[in-house]
Structure 1
Amino acid sequence: MKNFILAILLMATTVSNAQNNKPKLVVGIVVDQMRYDYLDRYWNKFGEDGFKKLINNGFNCQNTHYNYMPTYTAPGHASIYSGTTPENHGIIANTWFNKESGKYFYCTEDTTVATLGSGSKNGLMSPKNMITTTITDELKLATNFKGKVIGVSLKDRGAILPAGHKADAAYWYDGGNEGKWISSTYYMNDLPKWVQDVNSKNSANTYLNKPWNTLLPIKDYTESIPDDNHYEGTFTGEEKPIFPHNLPALRDSNSNYSLIKATPFGNTILKEMAIAAIKGEQLGKDDITDFLAISFSSPDYVGHQFGPMSIEVEDTYLRLDRELAEILTLLEAQFKNDEVLIFLTADHGAVNVPQYLIDNHIPAGYFDMKSAAKDLSKKCKTQFGVDSLIRNISNSHVFLDYNRIDANKLNQKKIENAIATWLLDYEGVALTLTRNSLESTKFDEGIASIIQRGFNQNRSGDILFTLESGWIMSGYSTGTTHGSPYQYDTHVPLLWYGAGIAKGETKSKIVIPDIAATLAVMLNIQAPSACTGLPIKELVK
């Protein structure tokens, strides 16, 4: 009996210690469009206090991948924080075709709320379209809503989806002629004074009123291709995509304050906003865990315009390294090492500019979806004798018109199979899957399984397809994009640092939903409602 009582006391002490040892603050950092290889490519030019500090003194999950497609911003952020894939959380793209309304639907749109902080409609946003909880929601529930959760990003979806349904606030940047950090009445009725103070300072003018020159002498950017090349896009009003980019002269022709998003200085104003949030909200100042979700969006804007091999992308990451260093330095000055838990990952990678690959004899191409869509419609009319059986083609989904199919007593399965077969005849199409096959068959491996995890029965189309490696949709004559199931889009960094993190690394395969599952164990809280990830054993053993 005595031994039993001692065991109970020991167990109670262990539980108590686990609760007391929770970090006071979790900082989740997502970099928009960061391939894993950027860590190696730019390593020798990084400082000691940014990316290198996270790797040298933290834990590096070197083989972390997205396990679904499309690898877009909104699904990426939702998957990181919900611990599952679009199949379950419902964020199947940034914008998707809504089968009920017949119109395109933005991932965070919410017309029932109002903008806070500006006179635009860019604050009509909320997380209501995400149909599962997030790790941040579970933190709110576990702390009886006492732990604070704040999301900040230039993009609304980069702030809203990570912060979850019960966040205290999410803030994003309203460009154009506004140049302000905004939110929506979903969260509050008025912006806090500290946000108003940030807006009053309006530091974006500091960076937009001088040219964007390289941080280092341009000759030192040996990891990138020459500055003057035909693979990069230009800002409106520029003759060539070369340094220096004359930002003061380009503001009016590039939506004024929106221009900062496509420069590394978008990261700078976000860093300032994140630091202001830490101070203004007194995050981590009590024993109840708070959570700050930061998403750096500018690398995505820069990457789309200039491509992964550009000096602009390299310069953006060298500067981002310094922004990270400033955040880490602040946290280490204000907290003990075991009081703050930090993780850094990305929402997707990016393919090299296809034309650059083609010119270097590497398989790549551009797929003309508009031409294929017209051809598919003609084939449907010829085969089934009915016009407009295809309602929409977007995000590599083909949506059928169920009303026309029913009215003409057609067999939907036969239509799906026919379109899937015809799609394979087009150069550049790698794989097609029908709704019927996705609903009736469990794919455990390969690209088919990646497509299936991105398939939501209610919101997705009826035929899904993916292009060959190196191929993207036409319309990108310069620059690049993302969204595929291939390594360049799926392989991203995952770095852990701070409370409870021992120095180390693993080459074991990690998938993005594992992040939320791991956080749940570390914080001793419930995993998100539809979590399919598993705790990373090297971190929680």
Structure 2
Amino acid sequence: MIRIVSSLVAFFSIASLCAQNVSEEPPKLVIGITIDQLRGDYLRLFKQTFGEDGFKRLLNEGLVYSDIKYDFPHPDAASAITTVYTGAYPFYHGIVGEKKYAKDTDREISSFFDSKFNGVSTTDQLSPTAIKVPTLTDELQIASGGKSDIVAFAPDASAALASGGHAASGVYWIDDYNGKWVSSSFYKTNQYIVDQHNRSSRSLSLTIGTLMWRPAIDIANYKAFPYTQNVYNFQHYFGKDKTNQFKLFKQSPLVNTEVRQMAEKILNAGTIGKHTYPDFLALTFYAGNYENALDKNYSLEIQDTYYRLDREIAQLLETVEKTVGLDNTLIFVVPTGYYNEEEIYPPDLTLAGGNFYPERTRSLLNMYLMAIYGNVQWIKKYYDGQLFFDRKQLDDKKIDVIDFQRRAAEFMVQFAGVQDVITSHQMLHGAYNQMVHFYRNGYHKGISGDLFVELQPGWQIVTDDQSSNNNQKVRNNAVSAPVVFFGNHIKPQKIYRTIEATEIAPSVAHRLRIRAPNAAQETVLKELF
């Protein structure tokens, strides 16, 4: 009897040890999915239209954190995705936004602009060199001795470059003007599958004229918004506007089909995820609005977007299961923490707030500074909530920059609609509090301005041109959405706490058994140990 009990104990001990060893095996493939503008409230509101194998499967079978925090002002796809993959904020990684103000040329450019590299099948001159620190994918390539396959697909260049990093085997996005999957000459290797697709009859560059976005199901099923009026079927024909057809396409859920299909081509090729070292597939999907119909069918279109995205995720999971296997694959799904919400207000409605005119503000401030320091155009630019001073003039006239910034901030904070003004000196050397720390995270020396202007919620920015900031209404609402880890023996669990965006990279690195990116300062999420 004792011998039998001993044998059983030994058996279960070995079985338990084997189970632990299996669960501790690093994944053969990591699939990083960032969903641009994903909203958690929409996942709840629209779930009655979802199937069982997409969002519901991720949320029911994955490790789910209830919310994510991007602790810096005005995140967008470029700054958010770079933060996820570096484990650091813009203060360290240098991508403060989709675009930036180039002081030397006095113009707005892509944050990833790089004249040293040409585009592949595009006129875009872009590279990841603007990312000042290594990414998660860079660290994987270092650990594997340059052998890992690391491929990134995204609708736009910034998301592809941020997720692919410096050492990828291929980074691709859809060109705004020819519809092809394009890249940068910075990357020395090309995926033949992408070239093959671009030359095929199924390439978006050839099929765009036949594509139309209509509701995928009966619109009677889209009933999440009870206030919706004048409900009718919508349709958007992308062959109509020859100038913007690809840009508009990338604002529709049909772009997610393009991303998923390219991912499946890589997976079905049979090499990625089949090596003795891990590989990485970075994907970005779109869950934002469609700019041409905000005054008509927004409530129906956004529900259709989520319904279609749910199907794309279900199909992708099915392909992963068939090719690499979910046990061999670690999947993480991360929202970008913001939402571009444009609203149509009834013309006779009077609300709190007012109009903020950046150019008028700049002129008034410049007149004030002239009265103190002399008749010079002291302010070069108001851009993205920041004021850029003419540093050369300040240096030439030997004016104390700290005092200059202080005087300008004290004057500006008196303007109607201005909540607070923070100087770059405060962020680097001055008084430190929670708000200064928040703005400091989004600041990068040499790229950001001298003053950061915080406007009161409800105020509308009115510019003299048709820039992306024109008529933008200030909103400080948090955009809540879950983070999901799935596959690779992850146990289903719901964690009701908010995690930092900077915790993801070190946590995935831990599962890969590689070092975290060197600017990542957060510890590993304890549930992933």
TM-score bracket, shorter-length normalisation: 0.7 to 0.9
Code of the residue aligned with 2:111 in structure 1: it is: C
Aligned match of 1:463 in 434, 451, 456? Answer: 451
- What's the TM-score once normalised by structure 1's chain length? 0.85
CA distances 1:439-497 after superposition (whole Å, capped 9, x unpaired): 1247453x3322111112232211112222344533689999999893434x3331111
Change (3 A) 1:128 1:498: same
Aligned match of 1:416 in 405, 413, 428? Answer: 405
C-alpha contact (below 8 Å) 2:49/2:221 kept by paired residues:
no
Aligned match of 1:49 in 36, 53, 56? Answer: 53
2:163 counterpart SS class: helix
Q: How does 1:236-315 map to 2 (within 5 A)?
A: 243-248=233-238, 250-252=240-242, 254-280=243-269, 282-297=271-286, 299-300=287-288, 302=290, 306=294, 310-315=299-304
Mapped pair 1:316 → 2:305: yes
Whole-angstrom CA distance in 2 between matches of 1:106 and 1:426: 31
Change (3 A) 1:17 1:478: closer
Change (3 A) 1:150 1:301: farther
Change (3 A) 1:255 1:355: closer
Q: Which residue of 2 aligns with 1:196?
A: 195
C-alpha contact (below 8 Å) 2:45/2:224 kept by paired residues:
yes
Whole-angstrom CA distance in 1 between matches of 2:244 and 2:68: 36
C-alpha contact (below 8 Å) 1:80/1:516 kept by paired residues:
yes
Aligned residues with identical type, % of pairs: 26
Mapped pair 1:98 → 2:102: yes
When the two chains are superposed, the root-mean-square deviation of aligned CA atoms in Å is 3.2
Code of the residue aligned with 1:226 in structure 2: it is: T
1:262 counterpart SS class: coil
Mapped pair 1:65 → 2:69: yes
Structure 1 residue 330, shift from structure 2 partner: 0.7
Structure 1 residue 364, shift from structure 2 partner: 5.9
Q: Which residue of 2 aligns with 1:7?
A: none
Whole-angstrom CA distance in 2 between matches of 1:59 and 1:409: 57
Whole-angstrom CA distance in 1 between matches of 2:291 and 2:141: 35
Structure 1 residue 401, shift from structure 2 partner: 1.0
Whole-angstrom CA distance in 2 between matches of 1:391 and 1:479: 18
Aligned match of 1:395 in 380, 384, 401? Answer: 384
Change (3 A) 1:387 1:18: farther
Whole-angstrom CA distance in 1 between matches of 2:526 and 2:302: 34
C-alpha contact (below 8 Å) 2:209/2:240 kept by paired residues:
no
CA distances 1:135-171 after superposition (whole Å, capped 9, x unpaired): 1111111111111111111101111111111111101
Listed as ranges, the gaps of 5+ residues in structure 2 are: 1-13
Whole-angstrom CA distance in 2 between matches of 1:509 and 1:444: 21
Q: Which residue of 1 aligns with 2:156?
A: 155
Q: Which residue of 2 aligns with 1:232?
A: none
Q: How does 1:76-475 map to 2 (within 5 A)?
A: 76-116=80-120, 118=121, 120-122=122-124, 124-176=125-177, 178-188=178-188, 191-199=190-198, 200-204=200-204, 206=207, 208-224=209-225, 226=228, 243-248=233-238, 250-252=240-242, 254-280=243-269, 282-297=271-286, 299-300=287-288, 302=290, 306=294, 310-350=299-339, 352-353=341-342, 355-356=344-345, 366-441=355-430, 443=432, 445=434, 447-471=435-459, 473-474=461-462
Code of the residue aligned with 2:40 in structure 1: it is: Y
Listed as ranges, the gaps of 5+ residues in structure 1 are: 1-9, 230-241
Change (3 A) 1:485 1:364: closer
Change (3 A) 1:40 1:360: farther
Code of the residue aligned with 1:247 in structure 2: it is: Y
Change (3 A) 1:22 1:32: same
Structure 1 residue 365, shift from structure 2 partner: 5.6
Code of the residue aligned with 1:163 in structure 2: it is: G
Code of the residue aligned with 1:266 in structure 2: it is: V
Structure 1 residue 172, shift from structure 2 partner: 0.8
Which range moved further: 319-328 or 412-421?
412-421
C-alpha contact (below 8 Å) 2:101/2:108 kept by paired residues:
yes
Code of the residue aligned with 1:257 in structure 2: it is: F
CA distances 1:476-519 after superposition (whole Å, capped 9, x unpaired): 89999999893434x33311111142101112221100110111
C-alpha contact (below 8 Å) 1:517/1:534 kept by paired residues:
yes
Mapped pair 1:515 → 2:504: yes
Whole-angstrom CA distance in 1 between matches of 2:155 and 2:293: 17
Which range moved further: 220-229 or 325-334?
220-229
Change (3 A) 1:81 1:188: same
Change (3 A) 1:198 1:470: farther
Whole-angstrom CA distance in 2 between matches of 1:502 and 1:310: 35
Whole-angstrom CA distance in 2 between matches of 1:184 and 1:72: 22
Whole-angstrom CA distance in 1 between matches of 2:260 and 2:182: 16
Code of the residue aligned with 2:196 in structure 1: it is: D
Structure 1 residue 259, shift from structure 2 partner: 3.1
Code of the residue aligned with 2:237 in structure 1: it is: L
C-alpha contact (below 8 Å) 1:390/1:400 kept by paired residues:
yes
CA distances 1:325-372 after superposition (whole Å, capped 9, x unpaired): 110111112233320000111223226435549988875665322332
Q: Which residue of 2 aligns with 1:5?
A: none
Matched residues, number: 507
Whole-angstrom CA distance in 2 between matches of 1:529 and 1:483: 37
C-alpha contact (below 8 Å) 2:23/2:488 kept by paired residues:
no
Structure 1 residue 103, shift from structure 2 partner: 3.9
